[in-house]
C-alpha cells in the first residue's frame, strides 16, 4: 500500500514536469528576453496597449466574436450530440469520423473550399444567378463577420459534438424516465433534466471552443481579411514580421491573463456543477417515432451542408482540371521532375505525419489521464489553478512559444531545438487540454460510493483505477485520443515555428506547395489535403474499432 | 520512480535526435522556399566531403528573427535567404562574419550591397504585378503602365495586394510605392494608397490567399485579374497543351521592386572553412544555373545560363525600383504603420 501510494504520488509529477519543461520554461525565457532585452525592463508595450484605442477594440472584438462563435457552435452541436448519443443508425461512426475532419485542415485550404461553395464564383451563387436571372452574385459572404462565424462553427462543431455526446452516452436513462413519469415532457424535459445532467460536458466543450476561437488566427486573417484582427493576429504580426518583442509580449500576457481568468471561472463552475451518477446501461436505441426520424434527418442535413459540402468541394477540386476528371495532381505529387531536395514522396509525408501523431497520442493520453485522475480526486485552490495552467498552451501564440523553444531549449541536456522530439512535445502540449477536457467530466461524475465499496472489499487504488475508473472513462479517453491524433496530424502549435530538420509532414507539404505559383501546385496542394483527410478518416475509424473490440459497452 | 516516467521522454528524444553534428556536417539555416537539385548538392558533398544539413524555419522574416534570437548559440553555420528588405535587421544584429569569396568579383556591383562582405548575393527576383491575360484580352482593357495608373477608374476593383506587415511581396510593393511617390510633396505614397483604397483595392494577409484565393488565373475561384506577385511566376502558369502562359508580368519602368537574396556565415561557427566553401558553391555555375527552376528567381552570376522556360516566359524589368537597405531598415515600421492606418483602419 505505501509503496503504491508513493508511486502514485510521483507519477503525478510527470505531466507537471512535462508542462514545466516544454511550456513554462520556454515561455518565461522568451518573455524575459522580450520585456527586458538589456536587463532593463521595457514596459512600453503595456503603455501602448493601455492608451491605444485600437488595441482596446481588438480585445473587445476578440472576446465577443469568440463568445458568439462558442454559442453558435453549442447551439448547433447540441441536437447533434443528442442524435449521436441516443440513437443507433447505419453509417454512424463514419459520419462522426467525417465530422471531425474539418478540425485538421489548414485554413488556406478551407478558405478555398468555402470560396468554391459560397464565393462570388461559387456553386451557390452560380446557381442562384442562373435560376433567378441575376447579373451579380446575390450571396456576399466574403470578408464578412458572418463567414468568420460560419467557419468557426465548421472547425469546432466536432469538438462540441464529440465531447457532449460521449458524456451523454454514459448518462443513465433512468433519471430521464423518472422525470417523464413525473410529467416532464418536451421543453421541460430538456430544460430541467437533460441540460442540467449534461452541464459538465457542455461547459467543457464551451471552454475548448472559446479558447480556440479566442485565439483564432488563420480564419480571421484569411477569411475575414486584414480588417478584422484578434489579439492572436496582432501577436503574430508583432512577433514574426515587425519583431517588436516588447509589444508582442505585452499582448501575449494580456491574452493569457484573459484566458486564465476565463478558465478559472470555468473550473470553478465545473466543480460546482459536477453531478454524481451511476454508470449507464445500454442507452442507444433505434429510432422509432416519425419525430425521432425527423430529428435525425434534420441533423444529418445540417451536417451535410455545414461540414460535408465544403469537404466534398475540396476533394472534388483535387480530382478536376478544367472541369474534367483527372488524376494528374496525384501523379504529380509522386514525381520529382526537377530532382529537388525539397521533394517529399507522398508516402513519406503520410508516414511522418502518422508517426508524429501516434507518438503524440500516446504521450498525451498517458500524461492527460494521470493529470485528470489526480485533479479529479482533489479539490483545492491549487488544483483549480493547475487545471487552468494545463489549458494555457492553447491560449499561447505558437510563434511566441516557437521563439521560446529556440532560446530556452538550446543546451544539453535539453538541446532539443532541432530535434523531432520537440515536434512531438509541441503537439502534445496542444493535445493535452483536449484529453483532459474529455476525461475530467467523466472522472468527476463517477459516484465515489462505487470506488469506496471497491476499497472496502479490499481493492488497491490501482485496482480501483484499472477496474472501475478506466472502463467508465474509456469512451472519453478515446475521444481525447482522437483529438490528440487530430491536433498532431493538423500541425497545430509551435512546431510550425521551430527550425525543422527534414521530417516533412502532410501539412508542411501543403504549405510548401501553396508557396509556389501556378494551378499545378494548387491542385497538388488540394490532392495532398485529400490524402490528409483520407489518412485521418482511416485512423479515426480504426481507433473506434479498437475501442469496440476492447471496451465493454458501458 | 518519477525517473521511470521521464525515461520514455528522454529515450524518445535520444532516438529522434539527429546524430550529433560531426566535424564535417555543415548546417544551413534557411527559409521554407529554399531548394536545390539533389544532384547539384550531392556533387558538392562528394567533392568536399562536407555533409549539408538543411534546417528550414518559416518565411524569411521568421528565419532572420530566429537567427537574431539565437545569436549567442547559433542554430547553424550558414544562413541563406535574407533579402534586402530584412538585411538591415540582420546586419544590425551582427549575425555574420565577413567573407570575400574569390568568385565575388564576377558578380555585378548592383547586387553587392554590403561593402564589408558580411553577406554575399546569390539570387534576385522582382516583385511585379501579374495579370490574367485572358481577362484583359476579353475586356479589351489596356494594361496599366505605371503604379499611378492603378488608381484610374478602369482598374477599379481589379487589384489584389498583400498586407506589408505580414507578407514579403506585400512589403516589397509598399516599398516600391514609397520610392516612386516619395514621402513629401503634393502627392505622397500615402495619397496614392488612399486613392487605391478609393479604387477598391483588396488586401490579403499572405501571398497564397491573394494568388490562389483572389487572383482569377491562380487556380482558385478568385475575381481579381491583377495581383502582386513575382516576375518569375508566369512560367508556372504555362498550359501543357497550348504551350501558352495564362499570366504575364507588368514590367514597366518603376513598377517592380527588386529583391536580392543573400547568404552569410553565422558568427561563432566552428566550421568556418566549410562554411566558406559552401558560399563559394552558391556562387558556382552549377548552383547558379540550378537556381531558376528550383527557387523561381534569377541567378546573380551574369553568365549563368537560364533555362528555356525562363527565357520564354519570365520577364525582367529594365528599370526596377531599388532602395537602400539602411533606409528600409530605418523606416520600415513607420511606413507599415502609416499604411495600416490608411488602408485597414480608414
DSSP element (H, E) containing A390: helix A381-391
- Kindly calculate the radius of gyration of chain A based on its CA atoms and give it in whole angstroms: 24
Phi/psi of residue B30, nearest 5 degrees: -150, 180
* Closest of B120, B145, B119 to residue B131, by C-alpha: B145
pLDDT at B60 over 90: no
Selected for mutation to probe chain A from B51, B219, B233, B308 (highest A CB count within 10 Å) is: B219
CA dist B33 and B134 (Å) reads 29
Computed over every residue of chain A, the mean pLDDT equals 87
* Closest of A409, A448, A444 to residue A425, by C-alpha: A409
pLDDT at B206 over 90: no
pLDDT at A420 over 70: yes
Percent of chain A clearing pLDDT 90 (strictly above): 40
Which residue, chain included where needed, has cell 482540371? Answer: A321
CA dist A61 and B279 (Å) reads 49
Phi/psi of residue A415, nearest 5 degrees: -80, 80
* Inter-chain CB proximity B213 and A512 less than 8 Å: no
3-class state of residue A289 by DSSP: coil
Which of A41-45, A123-127, A475-479 has the least mean pLDDT?
A41-45
State residue A274's pLDDT score. 64
Cβ A320 vs Cβ A511: under 8 Å: no
Percent of chain A clearing pLDDT 70 (strictly above): 95
Higher pLDDT, A502 or B162: B162
Cβ A46 vs Cβ A246: under 8 Å: no
Minimal CA separation from A171 to chain B, in Å:
34
3-class state of residue A396 by DSSP: coil
Computed over every residue of chain B, the mean pLDDT equals 90
CA dist B55 and A389 (Å) reads 32
User: Could you give all domains of chain B from N- to C-terminal order, each with its CATH number?
Assistant: 23-124+259-313 (3.40.190.10), 126-257+317-344 (3.40.190.10)
3-class state of residue B302 by DSSP: coil
Strand partners, A500: B56
3-class state of residue A446 by DSSP: strand
Mean pLDDT confidence for A146-163: 94
Minimal CA separation from B235 to chain A, in Å:
8
* Closest of A27, A33, A34 to residue A250, by C-alpha: A34
Where would I find the H helices in A186-344? 186-188, 195-214, 218, 231-236, 245-273, 290-303, 309-318, 328-333
pLDDT at A126 over 70: yes
- Nearest residue, CB atoms, B89 vs list A222, A240, A243: A243
Higher pLDDT, A101 or B239: A101
CA dist A494 and B102 (Å) reads 41
Which chain A residue has the Cα nearest residue B296? A516
* C-alpha pair distances (Å), A429 with each of A11, A24, A140, A368, B126: 18, 11, 38, 10, 41
Q: How many residue pairs from chains A and B have C-beta atoms closer than 8 A?
A: 193
State residue A453's pLDDT score. 87
- Nearest residue, CB atoms, A512 vs list B32, B296, B343: B32
Minimal CA separation from B318 to chain A, in Å:
23
Cβ A143 vs Cβ B201: under 8 Å: no
**Which of the four pLDDT bands, split at 50, 70 and 90, describes residue A552?**
very low
Cβ B327 vs Cβ B70: under 8 Å: no
pLDDT digits (tens, 9 = 90+) for A11-27: 778 999 999 999 999 99
Selected for mutation to probe chain B from A123, A217, A509, A518 (highest B CB count within 10 Å) is: A518
State residue B179's pLDDT score. 96
Which chain A residue has the Cα nearest residue B297? A516
Mean pLDDT confidence for B265-286: 96
* C-alpha pair distances (Å), B142 with each of A45, A102, A237, B228: 48, 43, 37, 18
pLDDT at A150 over 60: yes
* Closest of A40, A235, A222 to residue A147, by C-alpha: A222
Q: Does A2-311+339-550 carry CATH code 1.10.3720.10?
A: yes
Minimal CA separation from B50 to chain A, in Å:
16
**Which of the four pLDDT bands, split at 50, 70 and 90, describes residue B306?**
very high
pLDDT at A281 over 90: no
* Closest of A302, A300, A316 to residue A117, by C-alpha: A316
Higher pLDDT, A374 or B202: B202
**Which of the four pLDDT bands, split at 50, 70 and 90, describes residue A5?**
low
Q: Is A39 left (phi over 0), alpha (psi -120 to 50) or beta?
A: left
Complex ipTM: 0.85
**Which of the four pLDDT bands, split at 50, 70 and 90, describes residue A8?**
low
Burial of A275 (0-12, 13-18, 19+ CB in 10 A): middle
State residue B9's pLDDT score. 52
Sign of CA dihedral A481, A483, A488, A494: negative
Which of A108-122, A265-279, A499-513 has the least mean pLDDT?
A265-279
Phi/psi of residue A324, nearest 5 degrees: -120, 150
pLDDT at A433 over 80: yes
Please give the grid coordinates belonging to residue B345: 483602419
Cβ B228 vs Cβ B160: under 8 Å: yes
3-class state of residue B261 by DSSP: strand
* Inter-chain CB proximity A514 and B345 less than 8 Å: no
pLDDT digits (tens, 9 = 90+) for B308-325: 888 888 889 999 999 999
**A321 contacts in B (CB within 8 Å)?**
none
State residue A15's pLDDT score. 93
- Nearest residue, CB atoms, A339 vs list B39, B246, B336: B39
Selected for mutation to probe chain A from B14, B65, B206, B307 (highest A CB count within 10 Å) is: B65
* Inter-chain CB proximity B1 and A11 less than 8 Å: yes
Which of A167-171, A209-213, B178-182, B208-212 has the least mean pLDDT?
A167-171
Selected for mutation to probe chain B from A499, A505, A529 (highest B CB count within 10 Å) is: A499
Amino acid at each position: 500500500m505505501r509503496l503504491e501510494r508513493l508511486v502514485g504520488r510521483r507519477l503525478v509529477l510527470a505531466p507537471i514536469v512535462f508542462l514545466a519543461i516544454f511550456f513554462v520554461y520556454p515561455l518565461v525565457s522568451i518573455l524575459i528576453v522580450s520585456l527586458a532585452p538589456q536587463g532593463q525592463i521595457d514596459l512600453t508595450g503595456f503603455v501602448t496597449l493601455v492608451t491605444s484605442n485600437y488595441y482596446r477594440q481588438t480585445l473587445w472584438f476578440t472576446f465577443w466574436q469568440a463568445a458568439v462563435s462558442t454559442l453558435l457552435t453549442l447551439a448547433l452541436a447540441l441536437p447533434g450530440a443528442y442524435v449521436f448519443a441516443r440513437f443507433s443508425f447505419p453509417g454512424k461512426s463514419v459520419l462522426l469520423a467525417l465530422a471531425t475532419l474539418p478540425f485538421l485542415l489548414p485554413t488556406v485550404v478551407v478558405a478555398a473550399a468555402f470560396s468554391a461553395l459560397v464565393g462570388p464564383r461559387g456553386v451557390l451563387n452560380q446557381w442562384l444567378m442562373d435560376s433567378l436571372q441575376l447579373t451579380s452574385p446575390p450571396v456576399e459572404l466574403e470578408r464578412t463577420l458572418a463567414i468568420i462565424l460560419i467557419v468557426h462553427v465548421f472547425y469546432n462543431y466536432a469538438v462540441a459534438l464529440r465531447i457532449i455526446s460521449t458524456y451523454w452516452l454514459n448518462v443513465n436513462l433512468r433519471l430521464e424516465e423518472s422525470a417523464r413519469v413525473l410529467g416532464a415532457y418536451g421543453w421541460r424535459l430538456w430544460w430541467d433534466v437533460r441540460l442540467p445532467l449534461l452541464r459538465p460536458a457542455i461547459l467543457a466543450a464551451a471552454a475548448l471552443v472559446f479558447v480556440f476561437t479566442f485565439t483564432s488566427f488563420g480564419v480571421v486573417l484569411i477569411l475575414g481579411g486584414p480588417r478584422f484582427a484578434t489579439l492572436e493576429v496582432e501577436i503574430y504580426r508583432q512577433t514574426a514580421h515587425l519583431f517588436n518583442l516588447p509589444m508582442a509580449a505585452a499582448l501575449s500576457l494580456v491574452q493569457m491573463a484573459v484566458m486564465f481568468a476565463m478558465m478559472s471561472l470555468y473550473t470553478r463552475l465545473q466543480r460546482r456543477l459536477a453531478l454524481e451518477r451511476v454508470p449507464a446501461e445500454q442507452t442507444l436505441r433505434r429510432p422509432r417515432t416519425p419525430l425521432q426520424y425527423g430529428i435525425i434527418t434534420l441533423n444529418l442535413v445540417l451536417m451535410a451542408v455545414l461540414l460535408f459540402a465544403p469537404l466534398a468541394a475540396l476533394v472534388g477540386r483535387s480530382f478536376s482540371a478544367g472541369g474534367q476528371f483527372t488524376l494528374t495532381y496525384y501523379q504529380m505529387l509522386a514525381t520529382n521532375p526537377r530532382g529537388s531536395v525539397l521533394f517529399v514522396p507522398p508516402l513519406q509525408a503520410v508516414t511522418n505525419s502518422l508517426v508524429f501523431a501516434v507518438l503524440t497520442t500516446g504521450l498525451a493520453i498517458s500524461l492527460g489521464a494521470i493529470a485528470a485522475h489526480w485533479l479529479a480526486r482533489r479539490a483545492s485552490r491549487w488544483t483549480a489553478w493547475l487545471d487552468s495552467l494545463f489549458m494555457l498552451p492553447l491560449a499561447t501564440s505558437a510563434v511566441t512559444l516557437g521563439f521560446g523553444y529556440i532560446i530556452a531549449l538550446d543546451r544539453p541536456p535539453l538541446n532539443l531545438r532541432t530535434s523531432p522530439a520537440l515536434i512531438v512535445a509541441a503537439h502534445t502540449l496542444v493535445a493535452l487540454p483536449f484529453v483532459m477536457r474529455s476525461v475530467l467530466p467523466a472522472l468527476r461524475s463517477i459516484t465515489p460510493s462505487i470506488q469506496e465499496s471497491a476499497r472496502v472489499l479490499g481493492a488497491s487504488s490501482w485496482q480501483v483505477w484499472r477496474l472501475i475508473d478506466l472502463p467508465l472513462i474509456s469512451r472519453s479517453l478515446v475521444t481525447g485520443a482522437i483529438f490528440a491524433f487530430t491536433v498532431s496530424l493538423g500541425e497545430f502549435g509551435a512546431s510550425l515555428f521551430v527550425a525543422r530538420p527534414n521530417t516533412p509532414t502532410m501539412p508542411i507539404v501543403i504549405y510548401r506547395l501553396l508557396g509556389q505559383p501556378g494551378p499545378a501546385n494548387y491542385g497538388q496542394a488540394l490532392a495532398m489535403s485529400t490524402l490528409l483527410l483520407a489518412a485521418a478518416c482511416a485512423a479515426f475509424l480504426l481507433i473506434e474499432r479498437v475501442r469496440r473490440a476492447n471496451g465493454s459497452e458501458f | 520512480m518519477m525517473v521511470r516516467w521521464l525515461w520514455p521522454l528522454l529515450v524518445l528524444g535520444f532516438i529522434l535526435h539527429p546524430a550529433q553534428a560531426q566535424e564535417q556536417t555543415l548546417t544551413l539555416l534557411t527559409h521554407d522556399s529554399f531548394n536545390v537539385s539533389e544532384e547539384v548538392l550531392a556533387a558538392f558533398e562528394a567533392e568536399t566531403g562536407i555533409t549539408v544539413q538543411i534546417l528550414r524555419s518559416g518565411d524569411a522574416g521568421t528565419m532572420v528573427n530566429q537567427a537574431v534570437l539565437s545569436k549567442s548559440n547559433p542554430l547553424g553555420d550558414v544562413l541563406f535567404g535574407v533579402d534586402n528588405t530584412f538585411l538591415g535587421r540582420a546586419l544590425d544584429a551582427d549575425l555574420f562574419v565577413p567573407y570575400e569569396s574569390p568568385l565575388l568579383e564576377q558578380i555585378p556591383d548592383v547586387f553587392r550591397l554590403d561593402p564589408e562582405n558580411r553577406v554575399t548575393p546569390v539570387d534576385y527576383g522582382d516583385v511585379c504585378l501579374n495579370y490574367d491575360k485572358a481577362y484583359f484580352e476579353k475586356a479589351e482593357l489596356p494594361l496599366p503602365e505605371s503604379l499611378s495608373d492603378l488608381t484610374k477608374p478602369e482598374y477599379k476593383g481589379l487589384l489584389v495586394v498583400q498586407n506589408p506587415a505580414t507578407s514579403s511581396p506585400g512589403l516589397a510593393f509598399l516599398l516600391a510605392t514609397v520610392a516612386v511617390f516619395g514621402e513629401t510633396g503634393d502627392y505622397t505614397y500615402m495619397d496614392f494608397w488612399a486613392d487605391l483604397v478609393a479604387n477598391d483595392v483588396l488586401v490579403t494577409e499572405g501571398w497564397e490567399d491573394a494568388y490562389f484565393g483572389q487572383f482569377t488565373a491562380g487556380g482558385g475561384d478568385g475575381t481579381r485579374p491583377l495581383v502582386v506577385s513575382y516576375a518569375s511566376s508566369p512560367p508556372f502558369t504555362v498550359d501543357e497543351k497550348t504551350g501558352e502562359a495564362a499570366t504575364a508580368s507588368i514590367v514597366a519602368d518603376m513598377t517592380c521592386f527588386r529583391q536580392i537574396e543573400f547568404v552569410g556565415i553565422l558568427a561563432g561557427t566552428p566550421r568556418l572553412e566549410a562554411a566558406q566553401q559552401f558560399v563559394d558553391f552558391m556562387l558556382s555555375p552549377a548552383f547558379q544555373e540550378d537556381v531558376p527552376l528550383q527557387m523561381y528567381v534569377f541567378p546573380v552570376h551574369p553568365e549563368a545560363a537560364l533555362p528555356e522556360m525562363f527565357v520564354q516566359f519570365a520577364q525582367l524589368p529594365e528599370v526596377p525600383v531599388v532602395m537602400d537597405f539602411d533606409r528600409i531598415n530605418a523606416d520600415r515600421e513607420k511606413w507599415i504603420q502609416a499604411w495600416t492606418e490608411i488602408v485597414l483602419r480608414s
